[in-house]
Structure 1
Amino acid sequence: MYKKVLIVGLTSLPRKVIRGLLLTSDLAVLMLSLILSLQLLPGMEAFRETANALWLSGAIVIGGLTLNAAFRLDRIKLVMLNARDLLNIARFSFGIALTFWGAGTVLGMERIGAPGLVFGIFAFAGLVASRAIAVSILGGLRGHLHKRKSVAIFGAGAAGVQLASALGQSPDRRVVAFFDDNPTLQSMEIGGIPVLPSGNLVPEIFRNSISELIIALPDSAKKRRDAIVDLCASANVEVRILPSFIDMLIERGNARLRTVDPDEVLGRGKVDLDTPEVARSYAGRVIMVTGAGGSIGSELCRQLLHCQPAKIVLFEQNEYNLYRLDFELRARAKVCKVEVVPCLGTVTDAIRLSQMMRQHQVEIVLHAAAYKHVPLLENNEIEGVRNNVMGTKILADTAVQEGVARFILVSSDKAVRPTSIMGATKRISELIVQDIQTRAPNTKFSMVRFGNVLGSSGSVLPLFQAQIESGGPVTVTHPEIRRYFMTVSEASRLVLLAGAYAEGGDVFVLDMGKPQKIMDLARKLIHLSGRRVKDPVTGEGDIGIEITGLRPGEKLFEELFVSPETLCQTPHPKILRAEEHRLSEIEVAKLLREIHVAIETSNRENLRPLVMACADGWGLTGRFPPENKSASDAAMQFG
């Protein structure tokens, strides 16, 4: 106990006390250097006499105090000792050597050059050595006080070196090694820290008992950074990523080591959807994006700017989301010479929609406006169906009336064999659009169906990150629940490509690999955030995982299509077209008429079974879908 109190006291002394100790130490070094230079050099007997020695010592003390104030040696922070500080110590040593030479000349010392040089060298060596010893002692005391985690830094460049210097003051981390791909740096030491070859990354991590790897690579080395993250994840090594300089500026210098972004937790390679068809299809056109303020809608608008459209109409019912997006896009739109028009409104208002399309001469509609949160819509069926189903019907009819050339509906994997109101509304929206297509030859309708979008509002990624940040637990509804995942960028680019490939009434799906277990994703995010999953038996670890049970309307497994036999190829190898059953015009009209009556009379009891029975298009015909296969199996049929 007393030992700990002593260590805490020594490592947290007031600044004035530390400056006083440094000044005293420097004077002691000067006196020791003076004694050594007088004792070791021949012909100094006269100056070893008491009177001369006292005069010489007094001159050195006065000169030392004066030069210390001039070069501010007592203000040098020990743990941040750098080349500039060493230069100041060298200047001080040169000045004190001149003081020695001047005092010796006054006292009648002969051959003063050699003694002055030796004294200056001894002073410089002593001043540097005393600070190095102090740093070592302080580091040892901190090590006794705190059990510091051994970390390594990947990247021995400027960012990595600065990070190592900063972590030298950390009470809970100490840098024991650098890793770098540059062979000229390997086998070297930087500040006493060895630079190890990156080829043996995982073996060296375990050999040196490194518990955490911090990646300090530039943004241009993203592929290399992603490869390191995957390697560490497979080896169960904690990994963090140093924020870029821009990130730190945005955070006003308070940026923390961030966890990986959505691209890095996909569990598959990123799909390249950057094709020339996208730019050609939207260049010079007037485009309306409904739900523009949402996660998908806002990303669609950002990507559309690069396609050089004539105008983007931002249609959104949430005032704040519309304001925020308009404010963000203004500067970019000026650079791209694209007109951006913010419009408040709802897709259930036919008059407002017609006015906006006619006023701005809209040519393409990207329909991303929808209520999408499954548990929320289970208790709000009427508003969910009104917005998602009737809103789509009104918008599509208006688009045909106003001569819109293309209409792209953003759908969901929850539309396949739906078990929730949200999924059912999406499936009915698809059926409505396909039905309208049969009577609208001048408008090409298409739909895009994809899985969960990482990083979007309400998705598991921001939820898990917030839970981890607050100390847990991370909540998972079922240990076996699986989902397809894609990034916001991939989802938005897929929507734009669907417009380019549309032939009329198409349903497009993206090959997203195999579905991921949400439990595995939770463990990975905990691991990549620098924490450990808490063992429910032993209690060891940092963040627990809690199973909460499936929510109303939630499925264990999601599907992107009814059957792989319904899939056709498109010009892009990762995008497939699904040819699925459609309802007749009479069936759709009957369904919409009954839905409209249930909504107008607020009849939840009639609305729910009606929507759920007719959602997948089989309830009115008596036909049922064939047995489904996995997305990855289907994708293999098309290379």
Structure 2
Amino acid sequence: MLSRLAAPILGIPRPAKRVIVLAVDASLCVLTVWLAYYLRLGEWVKISGEGFWQPQWAVAGSLALALPIFIVNGFYRAIFRYSGLAALMTIIKAVAVYGLLYASIFTAVGLEGVPRTIGLIQPMLLLLTVGASRMLARFWLGGVYQNQLRMATLPRVLIYGAGNAGRQLAAAMANSHEMRVVGFMDDDDRLHGHVLNGLPIYSPADLPSLVSSLHIATVLLAIPSASRYRRNEMIQQMRRAHVEVRTLPSVSELAQGTVSTSDLRELDIDDLLGREPVNPNLLLLGKAIHGKVVLVTGAGGSIGSELCRQILAVGPVELVLVEQSEFALYEIHQELLGRVGEAPVILHPVLASVRDRHLMQDIMRRYRPDTVYHAAAYKHVPLVEHNPVEGIRNNTLGTLVAAEAAAAAGVADFVLISTDKAVRPTNIMGASKRLAEMTLQALSAAGSQTRYSMVRFGNVLGSSGSVVPKFRRQIQDGGPITLTHPEITRYFMTIPEAAQLVIQAGAMAKGGDVFVLDMGSPVKIRDLAVQMIELSGLCLKSPANPDGDIEIRITGLRPGEKLYEELLIGNNPSPTSHPRIMKAHEEFLPWPQLRARLDALETALDATDLDVVEALLTDLVAGFRCESDTPGWNGTATALAANHA
């Protein structure tokens, strides 16, 4: 109740506040004279002064002396300035001067009808009451006042969505020390102009003018039930207003508990894709996993770790995590242990490299997996380009080692995680992955009992090396955003969606299948960078806008990097029972011929003869063009050989 009364009082104009406090002090002068008479006489007297006692003279003297002294000492220059220890000392000094003058008149000199002791008692009472009034103001109004000062300096935000999630978010932020909610926006025009929980509701079309008039810094998107396409429309509408946009997760992510400020997150590119994810086919998800022993290589990587999470949710009997990085293996193992709960799933963390033939054979024989998901790979194009020997050994020969070990152990399904960079590759990473695909195709055609398949897709959001976290860090650092080429485009998909589709595609395999995921429309990376700048509330710095905030700097294509990625070598994909999964028809060499070439490749790698390696890759991989200037190519193998040694 007192807190609610404090806010209107603090809203009074400063001159009016000074008059009020002056009136309070004047009243205290009158009150303390009245109390002093009572303490002296033991009975209440009338201030009007009828009879022998003349208190009106004592009142007049108090007012005539106290108020000028208080004004001179700055009591009314600031309401809350005099509410601490320094303020108390100022009050004591001012009242001491007043008391000396007051006692000189009414005690030393004396006036008829005013007892001499009044000149001593009243100043002491005035000191107590004035000091108490300032302390009361500090404890009652000071906290509210300081909170209002803090709130005034906080970034001002609007909540987009006046529904249940928006109301809960506004309530959670009522006392936030990070942002101040000043209103709602909502698409329902019936709500425009109304007030919800003390906050006005505006039309989204008014956002550009609201940014200027209300000094809006951020918009919080609180419509978790909106489709991805609709969210994309909202975000594009807000881009023009140059405000930072933050969002709440989807309804499924908010299913437990109420909405809080901790649920707010920065926009990811998946908020901008404008493509709805397809709900997974539960039969396909469980076909190769439920009640089975599953092994994942590269289990600590971006895709491998998400595969492990998705697999664990389906209910295998055992899950074998194969990873060569101790730290990555520890991280995913600890996370999965926390997810297991009471489910009867046994986890096996195994430190191993897929290049170790004897170790991989031992692992396959020991755990006897039913299904293997082969996600272990070196995937960063520039790094593999600078380390071609290790890249080919790991991506191609490592796949061969794992595939042969799986066949020897009687594994039913072997699924390779491939990449769109395997299509007409211009880099070693892509060529090594296409050669890994061809290896599985040839093994399958040779009559292996293991069903080999591969799933090819583009970039996944949030993976290590993804442009989104890189751009976000560069924006936070004040720029510039570095881009290799203004026309570069890429396909994108979220990690969970990619992992689910990999599992479902593998379940449809008959042997030698090359599955291609529908990645939607390609995204121009420069457009993505501009969107991220604008949705951070900043402006692009360019020749047309030299006063902008963040510059985009073109650095040039990296070794082996392509402007455009493709998902198919040919143009004859076949549909499958899943709307987001297609089947490609890619040519390959028969296993005897390919095996001989792989042996020759391994020999060249052992000798670090990169001229022979390049020639073999060019001969084996359709469309491969070596466009790298990395030392070691074009006949200059000596430097790389020394480095490798």
TM above 0.5: yes
Once the two structures are TM-superposed, the CA of residue 218 in structure 1 deviates from its matched residue by: 7.9
Which aligned pairs between 1:319-398 and structure 2 lie closer than 5 A?
319-398=326-405
Pick closer, same or farther for the CA change 1:256–1:500 going to 2, 3 Å.
closer
Which aligned pairs between 1:236-635 and structure 2 lie closer than 5 A?
236-241=241-246, 258-273=265-280, 275-536=282-543, 538-564=545-571, 566-616=572-622
Map Cα deviations across residues 348-375 of structure 1 (whole Å, 9 max, x no partner): 1121112112222211100000011111
Amino acid of the structure 1 residue aligned with 2:617? V
Q: Is the 8 A contact 2:211 2:241 kept in 1?
A: no
Distance in 2, Cα, partners of 1:184 & 1:477? 47
Amino acid of the structure 1 residue aligned with 2:609? N
Distance in 1, Cα, partners of 2:261 & 2:160? 21
Q: Is the 8 A contact 1:262 1:455 kept in 2?
A: no
Distance in 1, Cα, partners of 2:229 & 2:558? 39
Once the two structures are TM-superposed, the CA of residue 227 in structure 1 deviates from its matched residue by: 5.0
Pick closer, same or farther for the CA change 1:45–1:506 going to 2, 3 Å.
farther
Report the counterpart of residue 634 of structure 2 in structure 1.
Answer: none
Amino acid of the structure 2 residue aligned with 1:179? M
Amino acid of the structure 2 residue aligned with 1:573? P
Q: Secondary structure at the match of 1:348?
A: coil
Pick closer, same or farther for the CA change 1:544–1:231 going to 2, 3 Å.
closer
Alignment partner of 1:30 is 2:24: yes
Alignment partner of 1:77 is 2:160: no
Report the counterpart of residue 220 of structure 2 in structure 1.
Answer: 215
Once the two structures are TM-superposed, the CA of residue 550 in structure 1 deviates from its matched residue by: 1.2
Distance in 1, Cα, partners of 2:369 & 2:207? 56
Moved more, 299-308 or 580-589: 580-589
Distance in 2, Cα, partners of 1:578 & 1:36? 97
Amino acid of the structure 2 residue aligned with 1:572? H
Distance in 2, Cα, partners of 1:470 & 1:209? 27
Distance in 1, Cα, partners of 2:219 & 2:192? 18
Once the two structures are TM-superposed, the CA of residue 63 in structure 1 deviates from its matched residue by: 5.1
Distance in 1, Cα, partners of 2:610 & 2:409? 34
Map Cα deviations across residues 461-513 of structure 1 (whole Å, 9 max, x no partner): 12212222222111111111111111111211121111211121111112122
Amino acid of the structure 2 residue aligned with 1:325? I
Map Cα deviations across residues 515-538 of structure 1 (whole Å, 9 max, x no partner): 111111111112222322112354
Distance in 2, Cα, partners of 1:67 & 1:477? 67
Once the two structures are TM-superposed, the CA of residue 75 in structure 1 deviates from its matched residue by: 7.4
Map Cα deviations across residues 201-249 of structure 1 (whole Å, 9 max, x no partner): 54664784765432063867786993575243554542322689x99xx
Once the two structures are TM-superposed, the CA of residue 403 in structure 1 deviates from its matched residue by: 0.3
Amino acid of the structure 2 residue aligned with 1:584? P
Amino acid of the structure 2 residue aligned with 1:214? V
Once the two structures are TM-superposed, the CA of residue 584 in structure 1 deviates from its matched residue by: 1.5
Once the two structures are TM-superposed, the CA of residue 30 in structure 1 deviates from its matched residue by: 2.9
Map Cα deviations across residues 133-186 of structure 1 (whole Å, 9 max, x no partner): xx69x96xx7xxxxx98653435635335647657xx8xx97654325787795
Map Cα deviations across residues 440-478 of structure 1 (whole Å, 9 max, x no partner): 453111110001112111121122122222221111111
Distance in 1, Cα, partners of 2:218 & 2:520? 29
Once the two structures are TM-superposed, the CA of residue 57 in structure 1 deviates from its matched residue by: 9.8
Report the counterpart of residue 226 of structure 1 in structure 2.
Answer: 231
Pick closer, same or farther for the CA change 1:203–1:214 going to 2, 3 Å.
closer
Report the counterpart of residue 160 of structure 2 in structure 1.
Answer: 154
Distance in 2, Cα, partners of 1:256 & 1:546? 33
Report the counterpart of residue 71 of structure 2 in structure 1.
Answer: none
Distance in 2, Cα, partners of 1:383 & 1:499? 28
TM-score by length of 1: 0.72
Alignment partner of 1:178 is 2:178: no
Q: Is the 8 A contact 1:179 1:196 kept in 2?
A: yes
Q: Is the 8 A contact 1:531 1:543 kept in 2?
A: yes
Once the two structures are TM-superposed, the CA of residue 606 in structure 1 deviates from its matched residue by: 1.0
Pick closer, same or farther for the CA change 1:272–1:36 going to 2, 3 Å.
farther
Distance in 2, Cα, partners of 1:189 & 1:568? 53
Distance in 1, Cα, partners of 2:588 & 2:229? 46
Q: Secondary structure at the match of 1:478?
A: coil
Once the two structures are TM-superposed, the CA of residue 320 in structure 1 deviates from its matched residue by: 1.0
Distance in 1, Cα, partners of 2:232 & 2:56? 71
Distance in 2, Cα, partners of 1:567 & 1:526? 37
Distance in 2, Cα, partners of 1:35 & 1:292? 81
Map Cα deviations across residues 363-393 of structure 1 (whole Å, 9 max, x no partner): 1100000011111111211111111111111
Pick closer, same or farther for the CA change 1:165–1:534 going to 2, 3 Å.
farther
Pick closer, same or farther for the CA change 1:332–1:50 going to 2, 3 Å.
farther
Report the counterpart of residue 116 of structure 2 in structure 1.
Answer: none
Q: Is the 8 A contact 2:431 2:624 kept in 1?
A: no
Amino acid of the structure 2 residue aligned with 1:217? A
Map Cα deviations across residues 88-146 of structure 1 (whole Å, 9 max, x no partner): xxxxxxxxxxxxxxxxxxxxxxxxxxxxxxxxxxxxxxxxxxxx9xx69x96xx7xxxx
Pick closer, same or farther for the CA change 1:58–1:45 going to 2, 3 Å.
farther
Q: Is the 8 A contact 2:239 2:534 kept in 1?
A: no
Moved more, 273-282 or 61-70: 61-70
Pick closer, same or farther for the CA change 1:60–1:275 going to 2, 3 Å.
farther
TM-score by length of 2: 0.71
Which aligned pairs between 1:112-191 and structure 2 lie closer than 5 A?
151-154=157-160, 157-160=167-170, 163=173, 166=176, 177-180=183-186, 187-188=194-195
Q: Secondary structure at the match of 1:419?
A: coil
Distance in 1, Cα, partners of 2:263 & 2:555? 31
Q: Is the 8 A contact 2:388 2:428 kept in 1?
A: yes
User: Among the aligned pairs, what percent are the same residue?
Assistant: 38
Amino acid of the structure 2 residue aligned with 1:577? K
Amino acid of the structure 1 residue aligned with 2:364? M
Amino acid of the structure 2 residue aligned with 1:73? F
Distance in 2, Cα, partners of 1:290 & 1:225? 38
Structure 1 or 2, whichever has the larger Rg, is 2
Distance in 2, Cα, partners of 1:563 & 1:32? 94
Q: Is the 8 A contact 1:509 1:575 kept in 2?
A: yes
Pick closer, same or farther for the CA change 1:166–1:216 going to 2, 3 Å.
farther
Q: Is the 8 A contact 1:412 1:450 kept in 2?
A: yes
Aligned-residue CA RMSD (Å) = 3.9
Q: Is the 8 A contact 2:488 2:524 kept in 1?
A: yes
Pick closer, same or farther for the CA change 1:234–1:494 going to 2, 3 Å.
same
Distance in 2, Cα, partners of 1:36 & 1:489? 76
Q: Is the 8 A contact 1:582 1:617 kept in 2?
A: no
Q: Is the 8 A contact 2:228 2:274 kept in 1?
A: no
Q: Secondary structure at the match of 1:544?
A: strand
Q: Secondary structure at the match of 1:458?
A: coil
Distance in 2, Cα, partners of 1:325 & 1:467? 28
Once the two structures are TM-superposed, the CA of residue 27 in structure 1 deviates from its matched residue by: 6.0
Amino acid of the structure 2 residue aligned with 1:580? E
